[in-house]
Structure 1
């Protein structure tokens, strides 16, 4: 099971608005010992949204999705999710009650006015979906099949994502977090180190090996940061094997790096 993130909206892809969700979601996850396996930016295109959602539903991924759940013509996310699952859209009774309550408390006019009937469309979700509470204005998001849909407004989206992480996804939290240990290697080429990296991943399947080359670093010049990351108890033996392998290759080892991620 992979943890992914969709950030949806033409305004992000066109540059009219700068995305703030990616870095904030990373922070929220890191505080809980979690991390993303993938992230995608998607425009407000019904077919693209349908195809992307159908793929992540079929993979069984756990997905956070920001944006596109309003009630204007360019908001296709709710319908795309329903179509990807082969389900109808339904007005969720609890969502409808919350939206009607918002109409009254915010003095938005007669509940039966065309504008307020349009607002009710924000409570139509794929059949069987459940709501995500919205502490900002009470108009909820929704979740279904481990996909969690929140608005694009950060002031709403971020507390809603925190609710998801601390209730629905609490079992994925890792208090100890992930550990990353690496070495700066000067003068080497990635192609020379690839057989060693493959061997470490084969012999230590619980960790991932990473390689970050640089050609013009002010301190180290051309170098590669190579290391392993994973559960803390699995990292040390894999790192020791990697370090020994680099020594045997005659690599120029410099400083070590350690990060909690």
Structure 2
């Protein structure tokens, strides 16, 4: 079965029907941890999610070590989270994500028939340009087929860049480390599998700048706010006045729109009562 024929709805996901599921990113690759390459998935996934009324809840960066990937995925598969995994699904010795995913799930690896067809089509496309052969029995093309060997039960994720697909299993989407491939695959997954979660919960974030008070003076107000408006999260981001500005604190709230607006107004009034200013010193 191909992934294009199946769309997950919120009822497919083991999560509360009233709350959106958590979304996480796992970026795999020694080259990111060593600094040889800079991660570009984190910020892109945040933007893709925000455009759809969703949010990223956590991110993890791990090495190409198969045991480490397996342990990470065992923990991850035990959750109901929606997880995007980038990197390590090629066919060279340092690509171990496919094998680790199968180990973590306790299943075998099999050549996915639709992936096999797509990889063969890719080889034919390249042969038509004078690059390689369309004969899938050549050693090079047999090796390329390894990129279509996925854990049993997996479905494909289409790759519009070069046809070679990623795979999806247990609410985990596995895609290459190359941003030009991975980012369209992220968008496709969000729009095809998880469209039912788009703008599922109305959430806003508001903030303002506070001058003249230390965090120690406002902590009790933030604690009182979260008790008074359950479900609203307060945050405090101090700034020491770098770049020539005045020291200040960015205070804010996030959550359901009506409660967030009420909590924000209360917080502004409360810190002013404590002697804080909403404008920088003259």
TM-score normalized with structure 1 length: 0.90
> Residue 95 of structure 1 corresponds to which residue in structure 2?
115
3-state SS of paired residue (1:211): strand
- CA distance change for structure 1 residues 121 and 211 in 2, over 3 Å: closer, same or farther? same
Whether 2:150 is the aligned partner of 1:125: answer yes
Higher strand share: 1
Consecutive unaligned residues of structure 1, counting only runs of 5 or more, are: 256-261
Higher mean C-alpha deviation, range 246-255 or range 228-237: 246-255
8 Å Cα contact 1:68-1:76 kept in structure 2: yes
- Cα distance in 1 for partners of 2:196, 2:180 equals 25
Tell me the CA shift for residue 176 of structure 1: 8.7
CA RMSD across the alignment: 2.0
Consecutive unaligned residues of structure 2, counting only runs of 5 or more, are: 1-20
- Cα distance in 1 for partners of 2:181, 2:249 equals 41
Q: Note the alpha carbon deviations across 1:75-106, whole angstroms, 9 max, x for none.
A: 11111112122222221111112112222222
- CA distance change for structure 1 residues 177 and 69 in 2, over 3 Å: closer, same or farther? farther
Higher mean C-alpha deviation, range 217-226 or range 10-19: 217-226
Counterpart pick for 1:241 among 266, 271, 274: 266
Counterpart pick for 1:14 among 11, 34, 43: 34
Whether 2:245 is the aligned partner of 1:225: answer no
8 Å Cα contact 1:179-1:235 kept in structure 2: yes
Higher mean C-alpha deviation, range 20-29 or range 38-47: 20-29
Matches for 1:75-86 after TM superposition, within 5 Å: 75-86=95-106
- Cα distance in 2 for partners of 1:181, 1:160 equals 31
Tell me the CA shift for residue 177 of structure 1: 6.4
- Cα distance in 2 for partners of 1:194, 1:117 equals 62
Tell me the CA shift for residue 4 of structure 1: 0.7
3-state SS of paired residue (1:252): coil
